[in-house]
Amino acid sequence: MSVFIYRMMFAFLALFPILNPPAMAPIFLQLTASLPDQERNRLAGLIGLYTFMLLATLLYVGGWALKLLGISIPVISIAGGLLLFHSAWRMLNRNPKMSESEKEELRPEVLNRAFFPLTLPVTAGPGSMAVTLSLVPAGSLLDPQVLAHHLALTCGIGLAAATVFVFYRFSARFIHRLGKTGEATITQIAAFILLAIGVQIIWNGLRALLKTL
C-alpha cells in the first residue's frame, strides 16, 4: 500500500506544477467571461473530467500510439506551444469590453470548446502530456505489478485533475472581489504568462529536435 501511495503522489507532484491550476484559473475566467456562474461551474467540471480522461488515456496508450504514428514528443510540444501562443496573443489584444450580442454569440462557442482548446492545450498542454508519457512504466499490463503501477499513476492523475476543477470552480469568487481593475490586471498578467509558457514550450520542442540532428 505504501508503494501504491508513493507512486500516486509522485504522479500528482509531477503533474501539478505543469498543470499549475492556481496560475491557469485567471486565464480560464478570462476565456469564460461571457458565461454565467452556473455554466462556468459546469464547464470547470467538464475540463477537470476531460483532463483526467486525456492524461489517463495517454498513460495507457499514448506511448504506443505515438510510435505507431511516428510522432515525437518534441513535435507535440511545438504544435501545442503554437496553439497556446495564439490563444494568449488573442487574449492580450482583445477588447475587454463586450456587447451583450457578442456575449450571446460567444457563449455557445465557449461551451462547445470544453475539450479543445480549454482542456487541450490550455489546461493539459504538451508539458503535462510529456510528463504523463514519461511516467509510463515498462512492461505488460498483464503483469499484476505493472497493472498496479498503472492504477497508482491513474489515481495520481485523478488527484491532479481534481485540483484543476477546484481552482477553476472556486477561484472566481476571490478574483471578482478584486474589482474590475484588479481582475483586468490579473487576466492580462495571466495572458502574458500563458504567452511566455507557449514560447518556452516551442523552444523546448525545437531544442529537443535540434539535438537529434
Query: Is 140:64 a contact under the CB 8 Å cutoff?
Result: no
34-52: pLDDT as tens digits: 788 888 999 999 999 999 9
Query: Is 207:72 a contact under the CB 8 Å cutoff?
Result: no
Q: Could you give the angle at the alpha carbon of 50 between the alpha carbons of 128 and 187, nearest 5°?
A: 70
Cα–Cα nearest to 57, from 49, 40, 195 = 49
CA distances from 44 to 37, 168, 170, 208 (A): 10, 6, 9, 33
Low-confidence ranges of the chain (pLDDT < 50): 96-99, 102-103, 105-106
Q: What pLDDT sits at residue 101?
A: 54
Question: What are the residue boundaries of the structural domains of the chain, listed by start?
Answer: 2-13+21-211
What predicted TM-score, i.e. pTM, was given to this entire model? 0.70
Q: What pLDDT sits at residue 136?
A: 79
What rounded mean pLDDT belongs to the chain? 80
